[in-house]
């Protein structure tokens, strides 16, 4: 068996480990963060669940920490009191980014982790099967229920060679994104192996696993080896170590060989993480310099905010000044990382160079401040550069390694650094201080503990049982690669509304079609037409709950991204797929779509006949759903389905 099969078979509850089959797996650990966590806990409560039944569940606050008004603080208090009541560990604001913290303090080789954030696979860097999902799936897992997924193909990426000095894990994953694109990982798990792994630390592996999400992959898995043990020792957790490797005769669907020696510094140009070229090609055309003038550099995010990442940047910034036209902002991934660089003097290197130090959290990555200037160029060590995500629609975001970011901050132009001096800075051990983790007071208050719901915590919409026929009008037609940031944007103005769906709904699709929210609300029932990879990006189930609130009954797309498709099903919105992609051309906004006997058609088959009444044309649509998912759709969402099953 390969590593993924070993872990999955030890956790298998239903189904067979055959690509394309639906499997149910036991989840050992869960994580939630604040911007998806409020919903996850409201759903946990609404499902009538009483106690967390996993080995470990952690509730982080890392996304929305601005507290410019009461909303965020209301959310934080709700999350803390809910975690306390239900039995989850609460990580206070300021402690750090969920993925960095989870890797440091809780990840364990051989275990499964489900998180309400798309970058949960980061912990795959430590030999876990770690998957991102919507809040409702995580709520079910917290309650001890299985997590269902379609068994992916397992692809083996084999590393040979060794990275050259000043080339890093970020360059490797950008290289893979160039190779495979943002849909190259859909329906796949990437399992890494090979001699080259020896030169990659756990946090390097975390960087690669983290951006597997940008490939659209279900997750990425690394072996657990001596580098894993080294990391766990640094964290005072060697007792959590078990070795884990693929059997010699393990079988994979595909093998991709990559020689690390050949990788050079890479950059993802605006506005997609797979728009990748070598930094030298971005900077030079032949020998002529193209000079990309940069206004902002940001180092941090769950991709690149580890101790080593920051130390690489510190090495380059030592005795240097940030270019006068550049604002350099640094957000350490965790309190542990921040205190380590405070203790060894690197923090002073940053301050002396002229960097701005932000709180340990997601910060600019999700548009919580540091929006670049109009038409600004921002060079970031982050994982997503979708248009407008940084808060400035006209800005261009470039994704790079910490090394390239630091060189760019000094030069004022996109640039990288290559010399033969290898960078080595590893800590024997971190000073562990878990003071910002609050353990639930299970023994005393537990059951009676009060959950505090301030005025920002509103009811969330629940779907309705599907009618016999569906008559609905097209309220939006999109192109390919629509992200959840398009559907429900984030940022400082909108993250405070994550627990307030009615308010949030006013902003749905606002950067794509400002009239959409009104049009959808005015129409009794709506359908959205999408292109390829519809709903890529984040795990936010708001991208389904908000359309549900606006009366959306179905999305008909050429293909869907995994997490969003599940979120649609869980809310009761039908994810139809065009049986013939060319039919996409013949549907327009305001067309009336009629599907007669939809319940019967769904129950009896996977091909459904729809009529475009406006165009007087038949459209055949597919429903690629398991029996379990069909039942959820017929019931009008997972919540109704769970209740129906309980009654029966
Ligand atoms: C993101 O990077 O887009 C987020 C914000 O972390 C999301 C979660 C969210 O929308 O709250 C994600 O990646 O799942
Ligand atoms: Fe936070 Fe950005 Fe990572 Fe999402 S991608 S979890 S916003 S740091």
Residue 514 has pLDDT above 70, yes or no: yes
Q: Which residues, 6 or more positions from 488, have their beta carbon under 8 angstroms from its beta carbon?
A: 494, 504, 507, 508, 540, 542, 543, 546
User: Residues lining ligand 2, judged by CB closer than 6 Å?
Assistant: 63, 97, 117, 119, 301-302, 362, 365-366, 383
User: Residue 20: in which H helix or E strand, if any?
Assistant: none
Report the nearest atom of ligand 1 relative to the CA of 119: 13
Smallest-distance ligand from the CA of 210: 2
Give the Å distance between the CA of 246 and the centre of ligand 2.
30
**pLDDT tens-digit series, residues 395-442:** 999 999 999 999 999 999 999 987 767 666 678 899 999 999 999 875
Residue located nearest, by CA, to atom 2 of ligand 1? 538
Give the Å distance between the CA of 445 and the centre of ligand 2.
33
User: Average pLDDT in the 156-183 region?
Assistant: 97
Give the Å distance between the CA of 120 and the centre of ligand 2.
10
CA neighbor of 492 nearest in space, from 383, 597, 366: 366
Residue 648 has pLDDT above 60, yes or no: no
Residue located nearest, by CA, to atom 1 of ligand 1? 538
**pLDDT tens-digit series, residues 317-331:** 999 999 999 999 999
Q: Residue 254: its pLDDT value, please?
A: 98
Give the Å distance between the CA of 144 and the centre of ligand 1.
24
**pLDDT tens-digit series, residues 105-146:** 999 999 999 999 999 999 999 999 999 999 999 999 999 999
Residue located nearest, by CA, to atom 2 of ligand 2? 365
Give the pair of three-digit tokens for residue 267. Answer: 């950059």
Q: Residue 645: its pLDDT value, please?
A: 80
Superfamily of domain 266-411: Aconitase, domain 3 (3.30.499.10)
Report the nearest atom of ligand 1 relative to the CA of 213: 13
> How confident is residue 290, by pLDDT bands cut at 50, 70 and 90?
confident
Report the nearest atom of ligand 1 relative to the CA of 132: 14
Please tell me the distance from the alpha carbon of residue 395 to that of residue 391, in angstroms, as a whole number: 8
Q: Show me where the domains of the chain are located.
A: 3-262, 266-411, 470-647
Give the Å distance between the CA of 118 and the centre of ligand 1.
6
Instruction: Report the percent of the chain where pLDDT is more than 70.
Output: 98
3-262: which CATH architecture?
2-Layer Sandwich (3.30)
Report the nearest atom of ligand 2 relative to the CA of 301: 8
Q: Residue 424: its pLDDT value, please?
A: 67
Smallest-distance ligand from the CA of 544: 1
Smallest-distance ligand from the CA of 60: 2
- 3-state percent breakdown (helix, strand, coil) of the chain, nearest 5: 35, 20, 45
Among 190-199, 416-425, 583-592, the least confident range: 416-425
Q: Which residues, 6 or more positions from 424, have their beta carbon under 8 angstroms from its beta carbon?
A: none
Q: Please, are residues 122 and 102 in contact by the beta-carbon 8 Å criterion?
A: yes
Please tell me the distance from the alpha carbon of residue 344 to that of residue 353, in angstroms, as a whole number: 16
User: Average pLDDT in the 339-343 region?
Assistant: 97
Residue 594 has pLDDT above 70, yes or no: yes
Report the nearest atom of ligand 2 relative to the CA of 490: 7
User: Average pLDDT in the 477-495 region?
Assistant: 96
Residue with tokens 């890529």: 536
Q: Residue 149: its pLDDT value, please?
A: 98
Smallest-distance ligand from the CA of 365: 2
Please tell me the distance from the alpha carbon of residue 41 to that of residue 354, in angstroms, as a whole number: 41
Nearest 5 degrees, angle CA 333-CA 220-CA 479? 90
470-647: which CATH architecture?
Alpha-Beta Barrel (3.20)
A 10 A CB-CB count for 251 gives 11
Instruction: For a ligand 1 pocket test, name from 117, 302, 305 the mutation site with the most ligand atoms within 8 angstroms of its C-beta.
Output: 117
Fold match flag (3-262 vs 266-411): yes
Smallest-distance ligand from the CA of 362: 2
> How confident is residue 647, by pLDDT bands cut at 50, 70 and 90?
low
Q: Residue 406: its pLDDT value, please?
A: 97
Beta strand 552-557 pairing with 574-578 = parallel
The DSSP bridge partners found for residue 557 are 577
Instruction: For a ligand 1 pocket test, name from 35, 122, 381 the mutation site with the most ligand atoms within 8 angstroms of its C-beta.
Output: 35
User: Residues lining ligand 1, judged by CB closer than 6 Å?
Assistant: 35-36, 63, 117-119, 366, 490, 537-540
User: Residue 577: in which H helix or E strand, if any?
Assistant: strand 574-578
Residue located nearest, by CA, to atom 9 of ligand 1? 540
Smallest-distance ligand from the CA of 101: 2
Q: Residue 150: its pLDDT value, please?
A: 97
């Amino acid at each position: 068996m390969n590593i993924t099969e070993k872990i999955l078979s030890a956790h298998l509850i239903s189904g067979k480990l055959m690509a394309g089959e639906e499997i149910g797996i036991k989840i050992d650990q869960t994580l939630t963060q604040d911007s998806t966590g409020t919903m996850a806990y409201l759903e946990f409560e609404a499902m009538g669940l009483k106690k967390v039944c996993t080995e470990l569940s952690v509730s982080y606050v890392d996304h929305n920490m601005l507290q410019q008004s009461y909303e965020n603080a209301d959310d934080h208090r709700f999350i803390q009191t809910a975690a306390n009541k239900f039995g989850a560990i609460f990580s206070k604001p300021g402690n750090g980014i969920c993925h960095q913290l989870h890797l440091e303090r809780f990840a364990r080789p051989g275990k499964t982790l489900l998180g309400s954030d798309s970058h949960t696979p980061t912990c795959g860097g430590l030999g876990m099967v770690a998957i991102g999902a919507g809040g409702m799936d995580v709520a079910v897992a917290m309650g001890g229920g299985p997590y269902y997924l379609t068994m992916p193909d397992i692809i083996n990426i084999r590393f040979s060679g060794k990275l050259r000095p000043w080339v890093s894990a970020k360059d490797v994953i950008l290289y893979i994104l160039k190779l495979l694109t943002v849909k190259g990982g859909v329906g796949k798990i990437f399992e890494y192996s090979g001699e080259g792994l020896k030169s990659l630390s756990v946090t390097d592996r975390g960087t690669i696993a983290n951006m597997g999400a940008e490939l659209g992959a279900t997750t990425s898995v690394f072996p657990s080896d001596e580098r894993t043990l080294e990391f766990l020792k640094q964290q005072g957790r060697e007792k959590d170590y078990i070795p884990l490797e693929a059997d010699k005769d393990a079988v994979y669907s595909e093998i991709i060989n990559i020689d690390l020696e050949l990788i050079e510094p890479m950059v993802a140009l605006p506005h997609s993480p797979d728009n990748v070229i070598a930094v030298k090609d971005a900077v030079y055309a032949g020998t002529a310099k193209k000079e990309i003038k940069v206004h902002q550099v940001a180092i941090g995010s769950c991709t690149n905010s580890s101790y080593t990442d920051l130390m690489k940047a510190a090495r380059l910034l030592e005795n240097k000044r940030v270019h006068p036209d550049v604002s350099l902002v640094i957000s350490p991934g965790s309190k542990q990382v921040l205190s380590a660089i405070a203790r060894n003097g690197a923090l002073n290197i940053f301050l002396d160079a002229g960097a701005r130090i932000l709180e340990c959290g997601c910060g600019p990555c999700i548009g919580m401040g540091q929006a670049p200037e109009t038409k600004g160029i921002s060079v970031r060590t982050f994982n997503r550069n979708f248009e407008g995500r940084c808060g400035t629609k006209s800005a261009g975001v470039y994704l790079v390694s910490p090394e390239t970011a630091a060189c760019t901050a000094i030069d004022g132009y996109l640039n990288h650094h290559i010399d033969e001096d290898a960078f080595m800075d590893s800590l024997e051990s971190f000073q562990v201080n878990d003071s910002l983790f609050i353990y639930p007071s299970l023994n005393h208050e537990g059951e009676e503990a009060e959950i505090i719901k301030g005025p920002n915590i509103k009811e969330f919409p629940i779907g309705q049982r599907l009618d016999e026929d569906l008559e609905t009008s097209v309220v939006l037609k999109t192109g390919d690669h629509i992200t959840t940031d398009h559907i429900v944007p984030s940022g400082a103005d909108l993250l405070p509304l994550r627990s307030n769906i009615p308010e949030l709904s006013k902003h749905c699709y606002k950067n794509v079609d400002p009239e959409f929210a009104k049009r959808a609300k005015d129409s009794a029932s709506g359908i959205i037409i999408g292109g390829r990879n519809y709903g890529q990006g984040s795990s936010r189930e708001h991208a389904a709950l908000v359309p549900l609130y606006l009366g959306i009954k179905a999305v008909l797309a050429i293909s869907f991204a995994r997490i969003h498709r599940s979120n649609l099903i869980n809310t009761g919105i039908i994810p139809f797929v065009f049986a013939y992609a060319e039919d996409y051309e013949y549907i327009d906004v305001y067309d009336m779509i009629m599907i007669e006997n939809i319940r019967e058609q769904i129950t009896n088959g996977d091909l459904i006949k729809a009529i475009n009444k406006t165009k007087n044309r038949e459209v055949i649509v597919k429903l690629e759903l398991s029996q379990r998912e069909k039942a959820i759709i017929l019931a009008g969402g997972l919540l109704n389905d769970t209740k129906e099953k309980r009654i029966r």
